[in-house]
């Protein structure tokens, strides 16, 4: 850790005590002015975004690896992400320095401050990354056990391979959408338990999945696996993911090849990417693994993080949302380094902008489950909301908000919100 992690560090920009974006965070995203204009790479502090393109033009990054690259004028983070960890850390350090309370560089430059320090209310956040390939894992033991118990019984909850490798599948990158994008209820084939034949129509068991996304920065060459303890060198940062699911469509289609239409209609991603440097003070060990994994999956270091996660739900009849589940990223049985090592052990080449989602993150208790499938136990145990409404699965007009944060001493590192509202099928 370095001085950017100092809990006593303060900025000349006022930051509310419970803000997701104190000076210790320095997330990265992309925005455009509400009145129209170019997309620029930005960071956030408190209720403001800092336009890094204008800082670059003013010479703030002179003498660094990114000088002259004009990467902050790009409409996505991909160019910056491709430059590697040294460039990411150097940029973070400079931003931290110019935002620090006693640094006059930006604070006292009224002309630069006027164009570079913007209220979050004056900009539109944009999709931060041009996602190339999307892989969805299934790495929470509690989630896999809950789902397996529902469909196969407790004695066969986990499939024989689950404790030996990070199970995953390749998803659909084109339907990864920014938080706030409307989620249209999908149509598809389903087979009700009471019917001998499938039917076609609206999904009736629409669900959310609380996940964390890993964004690949610098990739690896085809044919060259990434060693497990080198994996983080390829990770630019993390973002909240809601991998929406059509459960009834999935039940009918997934044998023998797995999810298809049930997962390809929308995956929401939060607008801010939180770097591993920001998360460093919250590093922790993963759950004990038994049986012992193969050597290529054995961690010599800790590759998990203590990130608290919440699911909020608001219906059309409610004035505000309510928390329906709380869990933690550190419950994941297979961590990001193991996921990357396994993904590339064949020589598969990851590329800048690739998204690796954790799979639904559930904890050991009923109130720490990461999907409605689990929370309402397959629809058999609907939950009762504060206004008396019940939910077994999502209805039109429901708004799901995912939140994530790490609690530091006197500050927190937040992820912003990942929001989606359900709209009727077309």
First to last CA, the chain: 50
Neighbours of 400 (CB within 10 A): 24
Q: How many angstroms separate the CA atoms of 161 and 167, rounded?
A: 8
**CA–CA separation, 334 vs 232, rounded Å?**
14
Residue with tokens 């009727």: 424
CA distance 190 to 389: 26
What gap in Å lies between CA 71 and CA 77, rounded to an integer? Answer: 8
- How many residues does the structure list for the chain? 426
Task: Extract the tokens encoding 207.
Answer: 């669900």
Point out the residues that are catalytic. 143
Instruction: Enter the tokens of residue 249.
Output: 């469509």
* Tokens coding 204: 């009736």
Task: Give the side-chain half-sphere CA count within 13 A for 276.
Answer: 25
Rounded Cα gap, residues 151 and 163, in angstroms: 18
């Amino acid at each position: 850790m370095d001085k950017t992690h100092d809990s006593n560090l303060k900025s000349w920009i006022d930051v509310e005590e419970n803000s997701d974006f104190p000076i210790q965070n320095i997330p990265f995203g992309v925005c455009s002015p509400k009145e129209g204009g170019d997309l620029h790479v930005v960071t956030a502090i408190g209720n403001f975004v800092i336009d890094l393109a204008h800082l670059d033009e003013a010479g703030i990054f002179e003498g660094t690896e990114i000088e002259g690259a004009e990467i902050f004028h790009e409409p996505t983070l991909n160019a910056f992400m491709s430059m590697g960890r040294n460039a990411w850390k150097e940029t973070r350090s400079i931003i931290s320095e110019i935002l620090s309370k006693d640094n006059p560089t930006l604070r006292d430059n009224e002309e630069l401050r006027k164009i570079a320090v913007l209220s979050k209310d004056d900009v539109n956040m944009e999709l931060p990354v041009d996602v190339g390939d999307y892989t969805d894992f299934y790495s929470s033991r509690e989630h896999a056990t809950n789902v397996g118990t529902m469909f196969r019984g407790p004695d066969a909850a986990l499939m024989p391979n689950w404790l030996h490798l990070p199970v995953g599948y390749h998803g659909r990158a084109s339907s990864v959408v920014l938080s706030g994008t409307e989620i249209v209820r999908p149509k598809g084939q389903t087979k009700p338990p009471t019917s001998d034949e499938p039917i076609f129509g609206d999904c009736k068991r629409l669900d959310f999945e609380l996940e964390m996304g890993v964004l690949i920065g610098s990739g690896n060459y085809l044919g060259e696996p990434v060693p497990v303890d080198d994996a983080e060198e390829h990770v630019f940062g993390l973002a909240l993911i809601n991998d929406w699911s059509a459960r009834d469509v999935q039940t009918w289609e997934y044998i023998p090849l797995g999810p298809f239409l049930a997962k390809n209609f929308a995956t929401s991603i939060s607008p801010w990417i939180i770097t591993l440097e920001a998360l460093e003070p919250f590093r922790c060990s993963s759950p004990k693994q038994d049986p012992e994994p193969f050597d290529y999956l054995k961690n010599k270091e800790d590759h998990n993080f203590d990130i608290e996660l919440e699911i909020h739900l608001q219906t059309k009849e409610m004035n505000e949302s309510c928390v329906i589940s709380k869990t933690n990223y550190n419950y994941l049985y297979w961590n990001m380094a193991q996921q990357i090592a396994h993904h590339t052990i064949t020589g598969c080449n990851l590329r800048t902008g690739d998204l690796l989602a954790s799979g639904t993150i559930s904890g050991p208790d009923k109130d720490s489950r990461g999907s409605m499938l689990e929370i309402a136990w397959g629809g058999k145990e609907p939950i009762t909301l504060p206004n008396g409404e019940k939910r077994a699965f999502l209805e039109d007009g429901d708004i799901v908000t995912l939140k994530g944060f790490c609690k530091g001493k006197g500050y927190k590192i937040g992820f912003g919100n990942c929001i989606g509202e359900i709209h009727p099928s077309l």
